[in-house]
Amino acid sequence: MEHEPVLAGEVVELLLPAVEHGGVFVDVTLGRGGHASALLERAPEAELVGIDRDPEALEASRAHLSPYGSRVRLFRDDFKNVAAVLERLGIASVRGVLFDLGVSSPQLDSEGRGFSFRARGPLDMRMDPAQELSAHEVVNDYGRRELASVIRRYGEERFAGRIASAIVARRPVEDTVDLAEIIKEAIPAATRRTGGHPAKRTFQALRIEVNNELGALETALPGGVAALSPGGRLGVLSYHSLEDRIVKTYFADQSKGCVCPPSFPVCRCSAEARLRLVTRRAITPTEDEVTRNPRARSARLRVAERLQVSQGDRR
């Protein structure tokens, strides 16, 4: 299936003020280049640095973005290295950074990648196929407690302990559909019918663990903000509460100014806000968009703008 960019109109409208007069914007989750091409169209003087850790995504984007010629430079890397990629290119600052987290439709739909519990495939789930850790090791080699902890933490799954025990008892587990069946059987029948497919949360947890998704996001957000020039904007599209919590907390922290108690006559903390929140609340898709593109259902978009900081970059 083609990947339809989520909240594309909103992403463009909110990032455009920062890039409409030119400069570099970085799409750190390039995917099929849907958001990137929409921005390149609307900001004809802007240049794109596109990053993705999946070589298939980069190849597809290379073709899709070829009409923009030398305005586009693409790199295979983990977005946690965004600062290093820009440094290698000699780019001191950028006008926009976009994160569209998670997996793309072509990744989900490709049986061989092992992301989907609906299609039989190997237990893989690596976004970067050169990486060593795959879902096969997590499912077959982690201890029961470690596995339960991954499923509980990253899947917010209340039956994590039962699921981990069932997996351990049935090892070796070799493919996605067998795994989904084991998970389903481990969940009490009465609760199987609520909250979508019973394997959904565990598959999400395994994917997050395999790709270190939350760790990469926590490292990359400060890197992205540090790269922005004043007035530059950072947008993040997240798809579950764990990601959104990281973004919301980081934005709130960075948009806080002085934290001295009101009783202090003068500021002693010297804390300065580095970001201004462009979206006070997360933007969510309309019912129309969700009907057209069900993958958009859980999307939340947050955008912040870089402020001038008088004392240099302290954080």
Q: Which residues bind ligand SAM (CB under 6 A)?
A: 3, 5, 29, 31-35, 51-54, 57, 78-79, 100, 102-104, 127, 216
**Of 14, 19, 31, nearest to 236 (Cα)?**
14
Q: Shortest gap between Cβ of 269 and ligand SAM (angstroms)?
A: 33
| Distance between CA atoms of residues 15 and 314, nearest Å | 25
CB 30 within 8 A of CB 100: no
Residue nearest to ligand SAM (CB): 31
Q: Shortest gap between Cβ of 268 and ligand SAM (angstroms)?
A: 38
| Distance between CA atoms of residues 211 and 131, nearest Å | 9
In the complex with ligand SAM, which residue's Cβ is closer, 132 or 194? 132
149's tokens: 């902890």
In the complex with ligand SAM, which residue's Cβ is closer, 19 or 167? 19
CB 202 within 8 A of CB 62: no
Q: Shortest gap between Cβ of 65 and ligand SAM (angstroms)?
A: 11
Q: Shortest gap between Cβ of 19 and ligand SAM (angstroms)?
A: 16
Q: Shortest gap between Cβ of 311 and ligand SAM (angstroms)?
A: 31
Q: Shortest gap between Cβ of 283 and ligand SAM (angstroms)?
A: 15
Where does the chain have alpha helices with state H?
8-19, 34-42, 55-64, 82-88, 105-109, 135-141, 144-155, 160-169, 176-186, 200-211, 213-227, 241-254, 287-292
What is the DSSP code (8-state) at residue 308? P
Q: Shortest gap between Cβ of 59 and ligand SAM (angstroms)?
A: 11
In the complex with ligand SAM, which residue's Cβ is closer, 160 or 220? 220
CB 93 within 8 A of CB 153: no
**Of 305, 248, 303, 309, nearest to 273 (Cα)?**
309
In the complex with ligand SAM, which residue's Cβ is closer, 148 or 293? 293
In the complex with ligand SAM, which residue's Cβ is closer, 101 or 182? 101
In the complex with ligand SAM, which residue's Cβ is closer, 24 or 216? 216
In the complex with ligand SAM, which residue's Cβ is closer, 71 or 184? 71
Rg (CA), the chain: 21
User: Which H helix or E strand runs over 237?
Assistant: strand 228-238
**Backbone φ, ψ for residue 167 (5° rounding):** -65, -50
